[in-house]
Structure 1
Amino acid sequence: MQEVADVARPADAVISAWFRARRQIGDADRGQIIELLYTLLRHHARLGWWLERIGRKDIPRHRLIAWLALSGQSPDQLRSLFNGDRSSPSALTEPERAMLAKLQGGSVDHPDMPDAVRLECPDWALEPLQRRFGPTFAAEMAGMLTPAPLDLRVNPIKSTRDDMLAALRDLGLKPAPTTMAPLGIRMPERLSLANLPMLKSGAVEIQDEGSQLVAMLVDARPGDRVVDFCAGAGGKTLAIAAQMANKGHVVACDINEGRLERAAERFRRAGLHNIQTRLLSSETDKWVKRHKLGFDRVLVDAPCSGTGTWRRNPDARWRPEDEQGVGHLVALQAKILASAARLVKPGGRLVYATCSLLSEENEEQVTIFLASHPDFKLVPLGEAAPGLPSAQPYYLSLTPAQHDTDGFFAAVMVRQSSPLSPKGEVKPAIS
């Protein structure tokens, strides 16, 4: 799996393609392979530091050998694993045995490691995250070095959480209700999702508990007109449409046609018929102007640095999504938010969300938007969604360390009045 180890492409896509070419591998072996790969990715910086320290070339095979040695495998165990059999790696070379001798007795963490290496934090994110978390920075980063849980969301159109908990237990599993999301189920054990009949039927969807809470903030009601402006794979769209009991109208927008097509299949499987997909050419597509002031709820789940997903996607921190950096993303987010805001009718709700932990993509972005859009007002979180956890009165701010979810940010705003035309007249909504 050299393709995964070099973090050049998303690990999940590489793994999926690798297994498609090796269909003979059983579920149990697949699970072990995936677990090992993600373990290596969660130790990417530290293994690289060790290889540099002992003067060995940083290649995937050396990373694997280093991890096994530093995690307690003896030389005899390693020689047994690397035996050259048809299903095993080739035998250890003399230089590799010398490498083992230098690593034996060590541990993955070392007191000489810089904090950024020990905490697996890329250089570009170090200062922003230290500024964001202050004295809790180390604890927050440590919280992203553990495996992410598997959360499901029950589709209330097809079932109830109690029924799904019972059905999962009947399969010999040990599900537990999530503590914050009312339709969430957490699966403590690893399992093959392909074998879950309720996933195939659309009775449940895979969705992190934090993502479920963001969808809840939209507070869509039956009969509402709603836009999910950056719908992507449609996870939050599904949750929103289900909130509406299949009544009203939801528009799932995105600039990627393939994502929308895959999302549409999920909508059909879930039995949701109140969703329309809309392919946009850009964040300022003419469709937005034609439908300004026409919607009760608008969700902007903006493209972002993805720092909140590092626990789930450990390779992402080492694979910049955009070579132009966070500054480019911040500018894009501002354009998307300003454009999508035009869709919100007077009294309507605008929800801005990211899966980022960076203040410049979150609180600072909202502050700048409100300064240039005085007709919008920030809604206190306790008023927008009573009972949701947050240390900040106006923002939902979730982290793996504090809430055992992916990292999410969300702010709820309401339009107080309509934008005025040059003559001072209220501009009407155009359907």
Structure 2
Amino acid sequence: MTPKARLSSAIDLLCAIENHPRRPADATANQFFRDRRFIGGGDRRAISGIVWDVLRKWKRLHWHLTPIDGGASPRLLCAASLIFSGEAVSDVARLFDGDRFAQSPLSMREARGLEALAGRTLDDAAMPQDVRLEYPKFLEETLVARFGDRLEEEMRAMDAPAPLDLRVNLLKSDRASAKKNLAEEQIHVTETPLSPWGLRAPSRLSVTGTAAFKEGWIEIHDEGSQLIAACVDPQPGERIVDFCAGAGGKTLALAMLMENRGHITACDVSAPRLEGAVKRLRRAGVHNVERHIFTSGDKWVKRREGRFDRVLVDAPCSGSGTWRRNPDARIHLSRNDIEELVVKQARILDTAARLVRPGGRLVYATCSLLPAENEDQIAAFCQRHDAFSPTAPDSAHLPPHLRGEKQLSLTPATNHTDGFFAATLVRKDA
């Protein structure tokens, strides 16, 4: 595709994302490219790169474009993003020439608006802090309290594209072998500093076509998320529940740590998500997992109270720890979303806790940076359930400096992972 065609497709994709504000941008992008299978891999990456660059600069671009008559359209957002990335205004304007596969020519209003950006920098001293650092205004007090003088560093880390993290599947391979196999296919990775099973590529490369992926030697898995499995620290032969399993990413890691011995029940309310785990489990060589779909009036928990050694609750959350991967999530997040999620998380925790046997462990995790979903949620749970108390995971799979922590908190700036939180709780013996 020509640069003009790529830009035109990026504008079309951004329009699609704006038309589905409650749908994750990556889901919209996946559908967009499925409907246009003629677009090759390199062009897909280029088109996505333009759009994700806009999403990362969303508030700042709108701040610059708001004074323009008509405001910030997808056309102007994509064009302005290219200009702030170093393209000359005249060069960007030439991409709108109305040729086949190109966008229609700029109107006089659009052309004047882009010309006004010449010589400007993306960040402007007149910007409010929430605009300059790209976070929801309603979270300002929370984020300032959370990070203090590190707020800018942490929010800037959210603007950087995330690397590609992989987890080596020890049921089929080891880190050195997987690293070598990937290098043979021109994918060069380094070992992650925190996870003993992690490999990291500096950019988002496609690995799904490699032999290492097809044979189940590796899985795409952020290093921070790998450490959640380490906090659970399941032992071979135990009975485990992954209470909000989704497509089974952490289920796979738990099965690996259990050496395929014992039993894992992967639960979720979504049948399509759990169904998506089947192929992954088969590819990874996992055979100690059964699935359970929660339905209205389900008696599954009641019939299995106190039977499990460890229960993982990877709770639905704001996803604020994943903004570097999903910058659209911060655009649409509202105060009401947080309030609803906190109630849902508490309900899920209360239900999942019933499954833990005396002496067993409950691990609560989110990919959130917000205390309301993390520390405050655990404090409230412990007030409601005095049979549970915080404990350090003391897992040999965790780095030594994290083993004594009753609550694990990771951020992109500090740990070079997505933002994650995990708390380990032990149920008192009967």
Length-normalised TM-score, structure 1: 0.92
**What residue is the counterpart of 1:301 in the other structure?**
314
Aligned-partner residue type, residue 204 of structure 1:
I
CA pair 136-189 structure 1, distance change in 2 beyond 3 A: closer
Structure-1 residue corresponding to 2:31 = 17
SS in 2 for 1:193: coil
Cα deviation code 1:108-134 (max 9, x no counterpart): 111110000011111232222222222
**Identity over aligned pairs, percent:** 48
Counterpart for residue 146 of structure 1: 160
The separation in 2 between residues aligned to 1:5 and 1:311, in whole angstroms, is 19
- Aligned with 1:314 (options 321, 324, 327): 327
Using a 3 Å threshold, how does the CA distance of structure 1 residues 103 and 111 change in structure 2: closer, same or farther? same
Q: Kindly tell me: are residues 147 and 243 of structure 1, through their superposed partners in 2, closer, same or farther at Cα, counting changes over 3 Å?
A: same
Q: Between 29-38 and 208-217, report the one with greater CA deviation.
A: 29-38
Say whether 1:358 aligns with 2:365. no
What SS does the corresponding residue of 1:181 show, helix, strand or coil? coil
What aligned pairs does 1:160-179 form with structure 2 within 5 A after superposition?
160-179=174-193
Query: Given the alignment, which residue of 56, 61, 65 partners 1:47?
Result: 61
Deviation at 1:74, TM superposition (A): 1.6
- Structure 2 unmatched ranges of 5 or more: 1-12
1:341-356 aligned at under 5 Å gives the runs 341-356=353-368
Match of 1:399 in 2: 411
Matches within 5 A, 1:122-133: 122-133=136-147
Equivalent in the alignment of 2:338: 326
2:82 alignment counterpart: 68
Q: For 2:348, which of 321, 336, 341 is the aligned residue?
A: 336
CA drift of 1:193 comes to: 3.1
The correspondence for 1:286, drawn from 279, 285, 299, is 299
User: Greater shift after overlay, 303-312 or 125-134?
Assistant: 125-134
Runs of 4+ with deviation above 3 angstroms: 53-56, 381-386, 388-393
Q: How many residues align?
A: 416
CA distance, structure 1, for counterparts of residue 37 and residue 206 of structure 2: 14
Taking the TM superposition and a 5 Å limit, the aligned residue runs for 1:21-420 are 21-281=35-295, 285-320=298-333, 324-382=336-394, 387=399, 389=401, 393-418=405-430
- Give the structure-2-normalised TM-score: 0.92
Structure 1: runs of 5+ lacking an equivalent: 419-431
Per the TM alignment, residue 388 of structure 1 is displaced from its structure 2 partner at its CA by 5.3
Letter paired with 1:259: R
Once the two structures are overlaid, the 10-residue window that deviates more, 389-398 or 403-412, is 389-398
* 1:384 to partner: Cα distance: 8.1
| Secondary structure of residue in 2 paired with 1:24 | coil
CA contact 2:196–2:397 (8 Å) conserved in 1: no
Residues 68/303 of structure 1: CA separation in 2 closer, same or farther (3 Å cut): same
Distance in 1 (alpha carbons) for counterparts of 2:335 and 2:384? 28
| Separation of aligned partners in 1, 2:111 and 2:72 | 16
What is the root-mean-square deviation in Å for CA atoms of aligned residues? 1.9
SS across alignment from 2:364: strand
